Each structure stands twice: as structure tokens, then as C-alpha cells.
Amino acid sequence: MRLSRLSRTTLGLVTGLILLVVYVPLLVVLVNSFSTSTSLTWPPPGLTLEWWGRAFRSAGALEAVGTSVQVAIVSTIISLVLGTLISLALQRFEFFGREAISLLIILPIALPGIITGIALNNFFRTIMGVPLSIWTVVIAHATFCIVTVFNNVIARLRRLGTNLEEASADLGAGVWTTFRLVTFPQLRSALLAGGLLAFALSFDEIIVTTFTAGSGVTTLPIFILNNMFRPSQAPIVAVIAVVLVLVSILPIYIAQRLSGSEQRR
Amino acid sequence: MTDAQPAIRLTGLTKEFGSVTAVDHVDLEIAAGEFFSMLGPSGSGKTTVLRLIAGFEQPSGGTIELFGHDVTKRAPFDRDVNTVFQDYALFPHMNVLDNVAYGLRVRGIGRKERNERAMRALAAVRLEQMAARKPSQLSGGQRQRVALARATVVEPKVLLLDEPLGALDLKLREQMQVELKEIQRELGITFIFVTHDQEEALTLSDRIAVFNDGRIEQLGTPAELYERPGSRFVADFVGTSNLLDDERSLALLGRAGEHSVRPEKMIVGTAEQSGDGVRNAWGTVVEAIYLGSGIRLVVDLDAGTRVTVLEQNDRHRAHDDERGDRVVVSWHDADVVALATVTDAAA
């Protein structure tokens, strides 16, 4: 496509502006993590490494990271298993209500978190009679984490078609052997991409978590929210935020590379 | 049929997809060791029959027997037939050797033995030096041969080939046709070959079933199909024919019914030919197309029919015909084939 010089400049400027709006605040957080001011004033009166040291020694922060990692890993594993199974079911078999189920699977990611949160809170406590704990958070996260796995896997299955599976069956492999030797290796990068996204989704989730976490279960986002406005803790929060940015860039970057390389193939 | 037990016996085989009948009560016996082709236009049901034999589709009716055993209900992995797929369906994440060894691997044969056997199969298709490559690093013809090696390494009783040469260019196709025929002779197994290319079917096959609309239109040796097409469809689909309908047959041949004459059975000259059973018809050349090995002439006969004549480009060719020339087209009565008016002339 050919654009005039004017429109190219305009579009470039708009793009630049939007990127600035997105990324300048992140830079501010980065700078604040070195600020000598405890109330995140701008510009920082001075620079120090104190908060970085304190953050890594803060028991509350470390515990929150541990909880978040644990929740994210377990809900990712659940999503990988269930997401793959449901994708296979919907893509490889025809049955009544297939379209409806497909919609029901995707819906949780579009639902406002607060609705999911209230609904699950109600369901766990009053209907199931289950006390809120770390596991109720895991289940709640899995409901929407499954979507990223499902989307990745079903797209891959659709593109793969059934030729390879038929060839495998033709050569004498049963259903399970075919999955293990042919289908799964073809799904591997889709599972990795979906899994990383699921992990990232769970790791920074706060709304649903607020409604489903038992007392004493503090995930990292909840820890940040709780400490954000405590004067002495604010710079520590900034440190955590920077670490989180770095940690979340990585899986997204890898996931994108994976799906990108797939598209080019 | 030399063998007592046919390799494949289809009885009343039917497959419906919704309201569409893709395969319509097909009865067929294929002898062991035969190179059998299923020929037909796309949508004629030939590929569906192949997929039914392989077990990828369940028939709506009828039975499939493999050497006398009913395999109709068996899963693909439980049938002693193997398939060479149209797009080869090689496993992209495995190298060539692992692809070929796959059938042995899932049968629980140890790595050493299966690699040896896979290498032998690769050697048979002259690809042993490609063993470590990935399928994506091979050319179309090489992939084709890997698919063949992969399907034959498990020593199936019947090999199904679904338009295996469809994706290759002409030169490679012709070369692979010769190779396929050689491999089939060496292995001595039954080949069932699906194609829409009538020339390929004629070249390769011991027998051919011509499919049309889910049914077998005609079954016979290449010579039988070509020389004695049983219906208008076969006459038209297998090679080219001058088809004469009822009215034109009466005018030109003095007989009622549909008839067909092959273009190469007619000659074009400037004088009428004489002899027993020889017929002549005057006409005007409409088109003369130079083909290299021959010349295709389209002649409008005075009797009101347009015919195509194929002349050999040899020293006997009387003269150069041009558009507008007055010529006489001659043929022998024995080369006129009467076609059945109804299409169910299948054996």
C-alpha cells in the first residue's frame, strides 16, 4: 500500500503518541523504584537502591510472589489439560450443541471479571459450601485461562486437518499412540503459546481473585493494591511493578514469537 | 482372476453424506497382485471407495472383504491395507527415516530392526541418502517416494494410492509411473490406484473401473475400455471420441443408436478409399492443429457432423491440410463402436 507523505507523517505521529502514553508511565514506575521519596512524588528528589534491597527482603512481597506463581502454575496446568481435551472434542468430532459449547468456553474471557468474581464467590460459599482458599482462586483463574489454550489449540487443529492422524491410523497406530506421536508434537508450540498466555493472565489477575481468595491468601496483585498507598511501602511496590513488567514481557514475547513463526511456515 | 480369494471384494458398498450418495451399491472384486485403477472425474466416488477400503469412512451399507475376511467394521489401524495419500501426509516433525519406520514403530518393533527395514525401503525408492532430512527439505517427487516407502515397509497386502502423482509435473509423473509399476511388480502386492487421469490409468493398470456418479460405469482392461467403451460417458472420458447420436448415426452410418469412433481410426485424404466395410464422407477442414507427433484435424462433414481426426505425422501423410480444404474422411466399419443408450452397462 502506498501512502502520501502527509498521511505517513500523521500516522507515524499518532502511533508514536499512543506508544508514549502506554510506555511513559511504565518508565515513571521504573524511575520511582529508585526514588528517595516514599510517596512517589515527581520528579524524584534523589536516587537510591534501598527499595530494591528491601523489596527482596520483604517477607510479604516474597510470599505474595510465591502464592501468585503457585496459582498461575496450577491453573495453567488445568487449562492445558482441559483446553486440549475440549479443543480435540470440538474440532475432531461432530455432536449436537457443538457450536454452543464452543461459545460457552470462550465466554468467560469476555465476561467482566467482577461478574465472574461475584458469581464464583456465591457459588463456592453458599451453594457448594466450600470455604474460600487458594484452590478456589485456582479454579476461578482456570475458567478464563482455559480460553487462551483453547483458542491456540483449536486454531492449530483446524489448520492441521486430519490427514496426519489418518496416515498414522493407516500405518497401524491406535488413537492414543497417534495422539502421542503425531498430534501432540504438532500441538506443542500452540500449547506453549497458550500456556504462557494463561500463566500471564492468571499472574496479574486481581478482580476475580479478590472475590475468590480465602483470608490470608495474598497474590501479588492483591499485595500491590494493599500496599500501594502505604507511604513506606510505595517504593517497594514500584520495585515489584518493575520486576513484574520484566517477568511478563518474557512469556508474551515468547508466545508471540511462537505463533509468529507458525504463521510464516 | 487367478487367485481363488480376491484381495478385495466389495458387495453393495454404499456411502451417503447427508442427502448425497457418494457411492451407490458398488460391487467389485480385485484380484491379488493386480494393478487396479479407479478412474473417474472428481466427485464420481472413486476416492470415497478408497477411503472406505482404508477405513477412514464407515459405509452406509454393504460390506468390504479383504482376502475373504469381512473388515467392514474394523478401524483403519486394524486393516492390512496401507495408503499413499494425495498430499503424502508425511509427519513434518520426523525425519525421513522416522517417517518410514513409523509403521514398524507402532507395531513395537525395536529401533535397530525398524531402522534397518526402513533403510531397505528407502533404498528401494533410491532415497537412502535422504534419511536424515525433514520432509520439508525434499522435493515433491522425493516426498512421493518417501510416502511410498512408508506405506510399503509394513508389507501390506493391499496398497491404496490416492492420486499419488497428482501434484507432480509431467516429466516427473511419467518417471514415477514407470517406478510405481516396477515397485508393484517387485512387491507383488495389490495396488489400488485412484486417478482422474485416463492416460495414467491406461498406462499403469491391469484393469480399470470407470466411476461415474457413485457407480462403476464400466470395468475392463485398458484395451477393452479404449476399444470397446460401453457407454457414451466412458467413450468420452477415456481418450477422445467422435460421438454420434442417433440422428447422426443414421445419416452417416445408416444405423440407429449412439456410436463412437476414435479420432486415430479415421484417415483424411483427397480421394475416397475402397474396400470391404470402408466408409467415406466428404467434408471441409475447419481446423488443423499441429501436435508434433501428429496432426489433429477438425472436419465438418457434408452429412452435418463435425469429427476430429488424428493423423500420424509420418511419411505416409498425403498432404498438408489447411483450413477450408475439401477432404474425404474414411474409416472402417469395424472401428465403429455401438454405445449402450442406458448408462448401466457396467459389468
| Cβ within 8 Å of A, B 141-180 | 150-151, 154
Residues B147 and B257 in one domain: no
Q: Give the per-residue pLDDT at B317.
A: 61
User: Is residue B83 assigned to a domain?
Assistant: yes
**Is B311 buried (19+), middle (13-18) or exposed (0-12) by CB count in 10 A?**
buried
Residues B31 and B153 in one domain: yes
Q: Kindly tell me if the per-residue pLDDT of A218 is higher than 70.
A: yes
Residues of B in contact with A161 (CB under 8 A): none
Full domain range(s) for residue B328: 242-339
- Substitution target in A156, A171, A179, A261 with the highest count of B β-carbons within 10 Å is A171
Residues B223 and B162 in one domain: yes
User: Is residue B237 assigned to a domain?
Assistant: no
Q: Kindly tell me if the per-residue pLDDT of B268 is higher than 80.
A: yes
Q: Kindly tell me if the per-residue pLDDT of B159 is higher than 90.
A: yes
Say whether B339 sits in a helix, a strand or coil.
strand
B58 at A interface, C-beta within 8 A: no
Residues B280 and B193 in one domain: no
- Substitution target in B91, B107, B117 with the highest count of A β-carbons within 10 Å is B91
Residues B298 and B165 in one domain: no
- What pLDDT, in 10s, does the model give residues B96-112? 999 999 999 999 999 99
Residues of B in contact with A173 (CB under 8 A): 77, 102, 106
Q: Give the per-residue pLDDT at B343.
A: 44
User: Is residue B2 assigned to a domain?
Assistant: no
Backbone angles phi, psi at A139, to 5 degrees: -65, -45
Domain final position from B167, B201, B232: B232
Residues B179 and B252 in one domain: no
User: Is residue B344 assigned to a domain?
Assistant: no
- What pLDDT, in 10s, does the model give residues A80-138? 999 999 999 999 888 888 889 999 999 988 889 899 999 999 999 999 888 899 999 99
Going by C-alpha positions, the residue among B62, B71, B68 that lies closest to residue B12 is B62
Task: Determine the Cα–Cα distance for residues B43 and B214; give it in Å rounded to an integer.
Answer: 8
Residues B213 and B294 in one domain: no
Q: Kindly tell me if the per-residue pLDDT of A183 is higher than 50.
A: yes
Q: Kindly tell me if the per-residue pLDDT of A231 is higher than 80.
A: no
User: Is residue B345 assigned to a domain?
Assistant: no
Q: Do the beta carbons of residue A146 and residue A79 sit within 8 Å?
A: yes
Q: Domain of B181: which CATH number? A: 3.40.50.300
Q: Do the beta carbons of residue B30 and residue B192 sit within 8 Å?
A: yes
Task: Determine the Cα–Cα distance for residues A16 and A20; give it in Å rounded to an integer.
Answer: 6
Q: What number is the average pLDDT over the span B235-260?
A: 85
Residues B170 and B196 in one domain: yes
- What pLDDT, in 10s, does the model give residues B295-326? 889 999 988 889 999 988 876 665 677 788 88
Residues B150 and B249 in one domain: no
- The pTM of the full predicted model, rounded to 2 decimals, is 0.79
Confidence of residue A262 (pLDDT cuts 50, 70, 90): low
Residues B188 and B251 in one domain: no
Q: Give the per-residue pLDDT at A261.
A: 58
User: Is residue B104 assigned to a domain?
Assistant: yes
Q: Do the beta carbons of residue B341 and residue B285 sit within 8 Å?
A: no
Residues B227 and B246 in one domain: no
% of chain B with per-residue pLDDT over 90 = 54
Q: Do the beta carbons of residue B104 and residue B150 sit within 8 Å?
A: no
Domain final position from B209, B232, B255: B232
Interchain pair B107, A172: CB under 8 A: yes
Query: If you count residue pairs, one on A and one on B, with CB atoms under 8 Å apart, how many are there?
Result: 61
DSSP state of B59: -
- What pLDDT, in 10s, does the model give residues B185-209? 888 899 999 999 998 999 899 999 9
- Considering chain A, what is the average pLDDT of its residues? 88
Confidence of residue B119 (pLDDT cuts 50, 70, 90): very high
Q: Give the per-residue pLDDT at B345.
A: 41
Total domain count, chain B: 2
Q: What number is the average pLDDT over the span B252-259?
A: 83
Residues of B in contact with A183 (CB under 8 A): none
Q: Kindly tell me if the per-residue pLDDT of B166 is higher than 70.
A: yes
Q: What number is the average pLDDT over the span B68-79?
A: 92
- Considering chain B, what is the average pLDDT of its residues? 89
User: Is residue B260 assigned to a domain?
Assistant: yes
User: Is residue B333 assigned to a domain?
Assistant: yes
Residues B180 and B252 in one domain: no
What are the structural domains, with CATH classification, of chain A? 28-264 (1.10.3720.10)
CA distance A258 to chain B (A): 16
Domain final position from B207, B232, B257: B232
Place of cell 500441538: A187
Interchain pair A167, B87: CB under 8 A: no
Q: Domain of B330: which CATH number? A: 2.40.50.100
